[in-house]
C-alpha cells in the first residue's frame, strides 16, 4: 500500500480562510483572493517532487466555434453535465434550479427546484436519473423527463459540493463542506461508508471507471485516492498552500487530473501517484477538469473566464475558448468527443466545438 508522508514530514497546507468556513458560498467574491500562488510539491509513495510546468504551445490553425448559448438560468451557473445517452444537457445554478435542455437549441427545458443554490448535477450512466446537490445540505435524485424527485439524501451536515455515480449506478458518492465524502445506495439512500480523511472542505469526488476506487479533492491541499468499501487510503497527492477544486479520472483509469487554485492542472499516474506533468497557462483558479471520452484531451475551466484544451498525451496546450464574460465554473464533453459545454457565472451555458 502507498501512503502520504506523515504530517510531521510535510509542510502545512492551507485551504479556505477561516472566515469562509461557515458562510454560504454562492455569491460574488467567493472565489476571488482565497489564496496566493504557492510553491508546488507532489507527494506520492512518500516522494516530494518539484514539478515542471507545461507552458502553452502554438495552437496552430485550431479554432473554437460557439454552437449555442443557453440562457435559461437567472443567476450563476455552477455545474454542467452532458447526458451519456442523448443530446441533452443538465445545468445547475444559484437560482435554485437544475435544468435539463436540448443540447442543440435549448428547447424542452425540464426544471427541477431545490430550496437554494445547486452546486452540482450528475447523470446516472444510463441517463435515466439525475442527482443534484447544493447549499441545502441534501442530494436529490430526480427524473430528467419531468423533474420529479425520487429520493432525498440528507446525511451531510454542510453544503454538498460534488456528487458522482458509481459506474454500475448502484451507489453515489457525495462530497461536502463537512469535510467528508459519503457513499450511499442510489436506490434507497442507505448509508454505506463515510470517508473522513480530509481536513478541509471536499470540493470534488470521482469514481474510477472500474468502480474500485474514489478520488476526492479538498481545500486541505490534497487529492486522496481510497477504496469505497472501507476507506483505506491508497495514496495522496498534495499541493502546498493551495486548494484542490476538481478531480477527474482518465477513461482508461490509468491517470488522474486535478485543478487547483495555483492556476494549474496536475496529471499523475492513478496506479501509484507518480507525477507525469503539470499544465500551466491559466491566469486564475482552475475549477473544473474533464477528460474527453476517448482520452485524447483534457479540458479545464478557470476563473480567468476561459476553457483550455490540452493534449492528454504530452500536456501541450491546443486551444483556448474565450466565449464567456465571467468565471467558468464547469466543463463537460459530449459522448462523441466533438462538443463541449461550459457553465459560467455569466449565467450562461455555452455549447461549442474545436475546429
Q: What is the DSSP string of 257-286?
A: EEEETTSEEEEEETTT--EEEEEE--SS-E
pLDDT number for residue 344 = 98
Does some domain include residue 205? yes
Mean pLDDT value of segment 326-349: 97
Q: How many domains does the chain have?
A: 1
pLDDT number for residue 61 = 60
141, 111 contact by CB (below 8 A): no
Confidence bin at 273 (pLDDT 50/70/90)? confident
Q: In terms of residue numbers, what domain contains 296?
A: 49-354
Residues 130 and 263: their CA atoms lie apart, in Å, by 30
Does some domain include residue 25? no
Q: How does pLDDT run across 18-63, given as a tens digit for each residue?
A: 322 333 333 323 332 323 233 333 333 332 232 345 555 544 568 9
pLDDT number for residue 54 = 53
Mean pLDDT value of segment 180-205: 97
344, 352 contact by CB (below 8 A): no
Does some domain include residue 99? yes
Residues 237 and 3: their CA atoms lie apart, in Å, by 10
Does some domain include residue 218? yes
**What nine digits make up the cell of 290?**
474533464
Q: How does pLDDT run across 296-330, given as a tens digit for each residue?
A: 999 999 999 999 999 999 999 999 999 999 999 99
- pLDDT beyond 50 at 265: yes
Q: DSSP 3-state assignment of 6?
A: coil
Q: How does pLDDT run across 83-106, given as a tens digit for each residue?
A: 999 999 999 999 999 999 999 999
Q: What is the largest CA-CA distance in the chain?
A: 56
Residue with the bigger pLDDT between 54 and 247: it is 247
Residues 315 and 260: their CA atoms lie apart, in Å, by 16
Does some domain include residue 4? no
Residues 149 and 30: their CA atoms lie apart, in Å, by 29
Mean pLDDT value of segment 173-177: 98
Burial class (CB in 10 A: 0-12, 13-18, 19+), 337: middle
The pTM assigned to this predicted structure is 0.85
The whole-chain average pLDDT of the chain stands at 86
Q: What separation, in Å, do the N-terminal and C-terminal C-alpha atoms of the chain show?
A: 44
- 244-249 and 139-142 beta bridge pairing: unpaired
pLDDT number for residue 239 = 87
Map grid coordinates 435515466 to a residue. Answer: 128
Does some domain include residue 21? no
- Residues shown for the chain: 355
261, 251 contact by CB (below 8 A): no
Residues 307 and 220: their CA atoms lie apart, in Å, by 25
Percent of the chain past pLDDT 90, that is, above it, reads: 79
Picking from 352, 283, 310, 326, the residue whose alpha carbon sits closest to that of residue 66 is 352
> Across-strand partners of 53?
278
Does some domain include residue 9? no
Confidence bin at 240 (pLDDT 50/70/90)? confident
Residue with the bigger pLDDT between 338 and 240: it is 338
Residue with the bigger pLDDT between 164 and 275: it is 164
Q: Classify residue 74 by its DSSP letter.
A: S
For position 120, which CATH number holds? 2.130.10.10
Percent of the chain past pLDDT 70, that is, above it, reads: 83
Map grid coordinates 448509508 to a residue. Answer: 191
Does some domain include residue 237? yes
Lowest model confidence (mean pLDDT) among 49-58, 116-125, 174-183, 216-225 = 49-58
Q: How does pLDDT run across 105-122, given as a tens digit for each residue?
A: 999 899 999 999 999 999
- pLDDT beyond 50 at 10: no
Task: Give the distance from CA 200 to its chain's centroid.
Answer: 16
pLDDT number for residue 25 = 33
3-state per-residue secondary structure call for 101-158: EECCCCCCCEEEECCCCEEEEEECCCCCCEEEEECCCCEEEECCCCCCEEEEECCCCC
For the chain, the helix, strand and coil percentages under 3-state DSSP, each to the nearest 5: 0, 45, 50
Amino acid at each position: 500500500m502507498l501512503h502520504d508522508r506523515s504530517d510531521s514530514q510535510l509542510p502545512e497546507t492551507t485551504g479556505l480562510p477561516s472566515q469562509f468556513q461557515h458562510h454560504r458560498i454562492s455569491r460574488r467574491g467567493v472565489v476571488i483572493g482565497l489564496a496566493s500562488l504557492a510553491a508546488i510539491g507532489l507527494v506520492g509513495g512518500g516522494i516530494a517532487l518539484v514539478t515542471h510546468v507545461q507552458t502553452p504551445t502554438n495552437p496552430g490553425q485550431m479554432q473554437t466555434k460557439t454552437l449555442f448559448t443557453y440562457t435559461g438560468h437567472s443567476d450563476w451557473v455552477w455545474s454542467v453535465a452532458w447526458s451519456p445517452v442523448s443530446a441533452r444537457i443538465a445545468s445547475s445554478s444559484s437560482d435554485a434550479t437544475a435544468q435539463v435542455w436540448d443540447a442543440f437549441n435549448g428547447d424542452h427545458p425540464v426544471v427541477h427546484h431545490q430550496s437554494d443554490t445547486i452546486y452540482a448535477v450528475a447523470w446516472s450512466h444510463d441517463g435515466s436519473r439525475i442527482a443534484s446537490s447544493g447549499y441545502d445540505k441534501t442530494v436529490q435524485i430526480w427524473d430528467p423527463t419531468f423533474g420529479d424527485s425520487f429520493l432525498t439524501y440528507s446525511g451531510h451536515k454542510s453544503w454538498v459540493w460534488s456528487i458522482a455515480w458509481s459506474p454500475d449506478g448502484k451507489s453515489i458518492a457525495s462530497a461536502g463542506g463537512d469535510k467528508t465524502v459519503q457513499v450511499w445506495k442510489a436506490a434507497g439512500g442507505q448509508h454505506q461508508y463515510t470517508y473522513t480523511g480530509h481536513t478541509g472542505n471536499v470540493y470534488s469526488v470521482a469514481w474510477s471507471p472500474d468502480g474500485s476506487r474514489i478520488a476526492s479533492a479538498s481545500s486541505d491541499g490534497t487529492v486522496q485516492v481510497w477504496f469505497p468499501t472501507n476507506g483505506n487510503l491508497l495514496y495522496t497527492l498534495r499541493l502546498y498552500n493551495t486548494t484542490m477544486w476538481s478531480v477527474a479520472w482518465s477513461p482508461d483509469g490509468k491517470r488522474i487530473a486535478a485543478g487547483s487554485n495555483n492556476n494549474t492542472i496536475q496529471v499523475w499516474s492513478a496506479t501509484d501517484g507518480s507525477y507525469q506533468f503539470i499544465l500551466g497557462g491559466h491566469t486564475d483558479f482552475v475549477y473544473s477538469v474533464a477528460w474527453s471520452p476517448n482520452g485524447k484531451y483534457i479540458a479545464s475551466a478557470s476563473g480567468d473566464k476561459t476553457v483550455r484544451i490540452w493534449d492528454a498525451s504530452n500536456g501541450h496546450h491546443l486551444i483556448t475558448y474565450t466565449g464567456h464574460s465571467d468565471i467558468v465554473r464547469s466543463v463537460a464533453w459530449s459522448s462523441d468527443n466533438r462538443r463541449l459545454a461550459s457553465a459560467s457565472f455569466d449565467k450562461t451555458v455555452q455549447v461549442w466545438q474545436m475546429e
